Structure 1
């Protein structure tokens, strides 16, 4: 009898013992890209719940910020803000406000009104705006047309043809939101990525996360591998969405607001960039900075990053040469 009771007690103790912690993974197509999550947790059920919570947040942001979904808040703004002020959510106001801050910081290299012409590009079907359309809409492509009233949370476009797209900042913001969910759940170690935007929570169980920077011309190959802890990294490259036109020129999705066309990445010019990776505390900043540096070029882009505390850059020029910001090139 005593042996039986001991067996019952032992069985109960074993069933009550926590499961061994392990890595949990998930991947899903959201926001026009692959969203990937990796987290360390001792409870498989809780881990799956957190993964679903994160994916739900990505889906919510996609539903709100997608320029392709007619019922999104962003689509509503693009339809109506050219005729007058539109009431917007605090979240969208914060995204537009941050975007305008980067526009001013970069002298217009970052400009969410690129969508004025960007909406006329279809990379899947290899279609682009011709010179006549580009010239007719170039005046409407200017962040100064975006009139945000932060007190009333309203947005008005100063030009009837102006449109906006948050593709250069929304994914970075989304990975920050995901990490916040995991932080509040007291997850120690995780990695969340959405396309070229990633953020790491903690380290990889005592080791740094090894983040590969894709080689912009050799698929499947890394140009560099960076060890990172508790930080965000965003990469912008001319290889993400592009096609080769009839003149054998690469037409890609990163627009130069000054020309209304994709930023020129022709071979031979050492200042032109084909890949930019920015490392910093949060994706809300690294995402727009990677676009900005790409448009600014190597000299002005690296000079900008060298002026910003807490940020570093890895860039690849049109000759496929690798360059680093001052903090990475001369580590203390």
Structure 2
């Protein structure tokens, strides 16, 4: 995120480490309200209850429940499950939250950074089920699957979007930005424009370019940082929900710009999974307005989207 120096006195900001990433939040300082403790508490709650690396939290209790169990969950977990299931359906299974077992079999059993998986490579058994969960009124969930849930990036995107909406509603700030490790939501009620830099995936200290935006969502997925060796095979964290295997692509980084952060978060991962025509068709079902910036293994950059000259 790039903020013009002359704006520093007008901005109230917060930085929080949560969910294995750094959250940076900045809003216009034209009101009198203590908003920071609410945001910190919310982020810690999301991390505590929905991290797959923690035990005895709400996500683990759902994952450990037997098939055909009926559970009453918190409104936030219910909303997360509902959104994740909607994305699974609209992407025809490319996106899926039901990939925890597959991630672990591929060697992703610990938080990053790590370089070598502890377990040897095996072939994961994967059940691509038609309707894994039934979501009922009153935050009731009927578990119809043996697959386990990992929210991964969608939990971070969900948190970014929820914080952005809350700040716009409760602080009356005229502009602001929420950045959760590259998942961003920004708004402006006037002429404020945010300049967003795009990291070079081959050198994190450099940028390959930037773009300007007033309102919308941005997300970036990268197969270099969250990658590891398992036996003699290089693995990464972006799994194709149709087969439970790491996506095969000549793309190493995808950045998506659209109207909502959560849409961008899911869309960025899809760009690793299919040819351009197929992916653009699915992305247009998620949000008809989108742009993307791709970095290939040969370091070439490709820009595209739903319209020409999107950025």
Normalized against structure 2, the TM-score is what?
Answer: 0.84
Encode CA deviations 1:266-302: one digit per residue, 9 max, x unaligned: xxxxxx3221222222223222222223333544223
Q: Does 1:224 align with 2:205?
A: no
Among 289, 293, 296, the residue aligned to 1:317: 296
Q: How far apart are residue 159 of structure 1 and its match?
A: 3.6
2:267 corresponds, among 281, 289, 294, to 289
Cross-structure match for 1:151: 137
Aligned equivalents of 2:154, 2:179: Cα separation in 1: 14
Unpaired runs of 5+ residues, structure 2, are: 1-7
Cα pair distance change 1:177/1:159, threshold 3 Å = closer
Select 1:164's aligned residue among 149, 154, 167.
149
Residue equivalent to 2:40: 55
Rg larger for = 1
List structure 1 segments (4+ residues) > 6 angstroms apart after TM superposition.
none
Q: Secondary structure at the match of 1:92?
A: helix
Higher relative contact order (CA 8 A, sep 6+): 2
CA contact (8 A) 2:157 2:265 kept: yes
Q: Structure 1 residues 273, 299: closer, same or farther in 2, change over 3 A?
A: farther
| Deviation (angstroms), 1:172 | 1.2
Structure 1 gap segments, 5+ residues each = 1-19, 266-271
Higher mean Cα deviation, 63-72 or 229-238? 63-72
Q: CA 1:215/1:250 → structure 2, altered by over 3 Å: closer, same or farther? A: farther
Whether 2:81 is the aligned partner of 1:92: answer: no
How many pairs does the alignment contain?
A: 297
Match of 2:103 in 1: 118
Is contact 1:169-1:288 (8 Å) kept? yes
Using a 3 Å threshold, how does the CA distance of structure 1 residues 233 and 156 change in structure 2: closer, same or farther? same
Looking at secondary structure, tell me which structure has more strand per residue: 2
- Of residues 307-316 and 30-39 in structure 1, the stretch that sits farther from structure 2 once superposed is 307-316
> How many Å apart are 1:145 and its aligned residue?
5.0
In 1, Cα distance between the equivalents of 2:141 and 2:119? 27
* 1:263 aligns to 2:247 (yes or no): yes
Q: 1:29 to 1:259 in 2, by over 3 A?
A: same
- Identify the range of structure 1 (121-130 vs 234-243) with the bigger mean alpha-carbon deviation: 121-130
CA gap 1:143/1:51 in 2 versus in 1, 3 angstroms: farther
* Structure 2 partner of 1:5: none
- 1:32 to partner: Cα distance: 1.6
Distance change (3 Å), C-alpha of 1:25 and 1:230: same
- TM (normalized to structure 1)? 0.79
CA-atom RMSD in angstroms: 2.7
| Whole-angstrom CA distance in 1 between matches of 2:269 and 2:209 | 19
Aligned to 2:91: 106
Alpha-carbon shift at residue 33 of structure 1 (Å): 0.9
Deviations 1:101-137 (A, max 9, x none): 21122221101011121134235262166554x33x3
Partner of 2:161: 176
Greater CA drift, 85-94 or 105-114: 85-94
Is the Cα–Cα contact under 8 Å of residues 115 and 229 in structure 2 kept in the other structure? no
After superposition, the C-alpha distances for 1:213-241 in whole angstroms (9 at most, x for unaligned) are 21222222223312111211011111231
Query: 1:103, 1:320 → 2: CA distance?
Result: 31
